[in-house]
A and B are shown apart, each in its own frame.
Chain A
Amino acid sequence: MDQLAEAVPYLGKRNLKAARWVVIIIALVAPIIAMMFGRTWVRILDFALLYMMLALGLNLVVGFAGLLDLGYIAFYAVGAYTWAFLASPHFGVHWPFWAILPLGAGFAAMAGIILGFPVLRLRGDYLAIVTLGFGEIVRIFMNNLNYPVNITNGPQGINALDSMNLFGWDLARNLTIGDVQIHSLYLYYYFFLLCVAGSIMFIQRMQISRIGRAWAAMRDDELAAKAIGINTRNLKLLAFSLGATFGGVAGGLFGSFQGFVSPESFSLMESIAVLTMVVFGGMGNIAGAVVGALALTALPEILRNIAVPLQETLFGHVLLDPEVLRMLLLSLAMILMMLLRPGGLIPAHARYSRPELLGKGVRT
């Protein structure tokens, strides 16, 4: 929370308490304002929250531990398919929410360790290529495991996933309290918001812990990290599995929210999009991941809503597909960012210790 509050322009540096309230109010009011522009926008905000969880998890791997992972979306897929297998008519199994979500997170963490072991000795470009391959392998498995035994239903994906049911309270149905009806999209929004807030708190604790500092040391100089007694093998595996856990949880939420999963949601482009959010926002920085995810989910949608009608009035038909525009915009954002603000929107500041741990000196 505090990192987000400090990132609030002007206020963050002067009045942290006020800035904190600004963040909370924005988070709470956002969907109500979005609803004024139509339901789609609340839906986009819901997706933005899911991307935030992904960006936070990937930031832990790439930003904190310095391990470039281009196959991160695979963990998202593992979480989503776990949900699809255990809560849909596909196998006729309908497990409850609270059983599947931890299971999906656990499977994703396991996948993280499975990826982690072979890449322990790789760094930089080589690591990126192997993780990229891993992401594709998972997607191809999902795409082809429909024969001879139909497990994933192949490219058609799995339909009619159970909606999220929090102890008898179905998030997919509008909630009626007296005369007021609260739309299901709001319910999802606030539930996802809770998940994101929880993730932020956990990751922030992690960053200023002994493990967080060890990650930072490993990222800055691996040999020196070994020389001061850091077990780099275990820390890398921990980074991969913990990052994957967030991907798994987000994947489960995504599956049930969308009600449908298919391999095409987990393409390489999605991995790159999440990485772009992390880099765009500012690597190694919680506020950066959050802002990056929000900006890069919302901006393409805004553009799409302007570009499609604009093209229709100009040329009479749509020349550039919105999906192409999205990639175009992401690339453009990256290029501009690298030129103008290489540290990202909110550049990371060294912050790996609790202030009271450090000497009497006031932190600057």
Chain B
Amino acid sequence: MSNSNPVTPILQLKDVKIAYGGIQAVKGIDLELYRGELVCLIGANGAGKTTTLNALAGTLGLAGGELIYDGEAISTMPAHKRLRRGIALVPEGRGIFTRLTVEENLRMGAYIRNDSAAIEEDLEKVYTMLPRVKERLQQVAGTLSGGEQQMVAIGRALLSRPRLLLLDEPSMGLAPLVVEKIFEVVQTVKDEGVTILLVEQNANLALEFAQRGYVMDSGKISITGSGEELLANPAVRAAYLGEAA
């Protein structure tokens, strides 16, 4: 028996190190994602969460370690090739194309595809998932509210037909009610079978939704466990959920 685990992970990080602007932001982390999971990565500001996601999407290079996606080493693969393999990133701060219309934004998500009939189908799917967005298709995206922009960003990522969706702080700067709506959308995407890696500051909410979680602390993974375990962990509660130890 070479492999004791019956299910191989869709994504595996082995001792991944990432240097960013001369500083080693990520100092060797191991992380695994299994098909269909929703896993969250929480941690304080500057812990290296966003850096990790950007390295997974291929917009940042690795300083060491290995990335294995679907049985293939992708450590040096450029971003557009990873996207073709099914890894899509919703960047921090939403990354909306502010001067394009909402519809143009969504269609840009299918930039690498040329199966136009299927793209139209996927657009319709996104419209049913995000009715608010559908009402504003011809509006210039920069004029949308923060929540709507986040929806557009998620919809745009979905148009690349991802198998692994990397979400970077979808709740950033949004009102609690809007955040709830966003998480409903995330749940729907997960129910469609997309594997999700979610980076969040809002640890409470993220852990409620996620099956498993990793806690990151100054470039390292400090604690890992199921969502409930982490929610119950006194150290996590003290550090990230705003409770006195």
Contacts and interface: CB of A to CB of B under 8 A. Distances in A.
Given A217-B97, A224-B95, A352 B104 contact: yes
Nearest to A348: B99
B138 A227 contact: no
Most chain A CB within 10 A, of B78, B90, B104, is at: B104
Contacts of A363: 138
Interface residues on A, range: 20 to 34
B91 interface: yes
Most B Cβ at <10 Å: residue of A230, A284, A359, A364: A359
Chain B interface category by residue count = 35 or more
Given A223-B59, A223-B95, A363-B138, A228 B111 contact: yes
B95 A227 contact: yes
A214 interface: yes
B104 A350 contact: yes
B35 interface: no
A229 B96 contact: no
A221 B138 CA distance: 20
A227 B59 contact: yes
Interface string B76-107: 00111001100011110011111111011001
B109 interface: yes
B198 interface: no
Given A226-B79, A227-B83, A361-B137, A213 B59 contact: no
Interface centre among A216, A224, A227 (most CB of B within 10 A): A227
Interface string A334-364: 0000000000000010101100011101111
Interface in A306-360: 348, 350, 352-353, 357-359
Interface in B152-166: 153, 156-157, 160
A224 B111 CA distance: 12
A229 B108 CA distance: 9
A230 B80 contact: yes
Interface in A283-312: 284
Contact of A358 (B57, B95, B99, B103): B103
Contacts of B84: 229
A217 B83 contact: no
Contact of B100 (A216, A230, A364): A216
A228 B108 contact: yes
A27 to B, nearest CB: 29
A223 B94 CA distance: 10
A357 to B, nearest CB: 8
Contacts of A216: 97, 99-100
B138 A364 contact: yes
A229 B95 contact: no
Interface string A187-226: 0000000000000000000000010011011011101111
A350 B109 contact: no
Among A217, A228, A284, the one with the most B-chain Cβ atoms within 10 Å of its Cβ is A228
A358 B108 CA distance: 12
B223 interface: no
Nearest to B90: A227
Contacts of A225: 97
A139 B134 CA distance: 53
Contacts of B78: 231
Contacts of A221: 91, 95-98
B138 A361 contact: yes
B112 interface: yes
A218 to B, nearest CB: 9
Interface string A224-253: 111111110000000000000000000000
Given A359-B137, A361-B138, A363-B138, A227 B79 contact: yes
A228 B83 contact: yes
30 contacts: A213-B100, A213-B111, A214-B108, A217-B100, A217-B111, A219-B99, A221-B91, A221-B98, A223-B91, A224-B94, A225-B97, A226-B57, A226-B59, A227-B79, A227-B83, A227-B88, A227-B90, A228-B156, A230-B80, A284-B99, A350-B104, A350-B140, A352-B100, A352-B104, A353-B101, A353-B103, A358-B101, A359-B103, A361-B103, A362-B138
Given A227-B95, A363-B138, 7 more contacts: A213-B104, A228-B108, A228-B109, A229-B84, A229-B160, A353-B107, A358-B104
Chain A to chain B: the 5 pairs with minimum beta-carbon distance, closest first: A224-B95, A229-B112, A229-B83, A229-B80, A220-B97
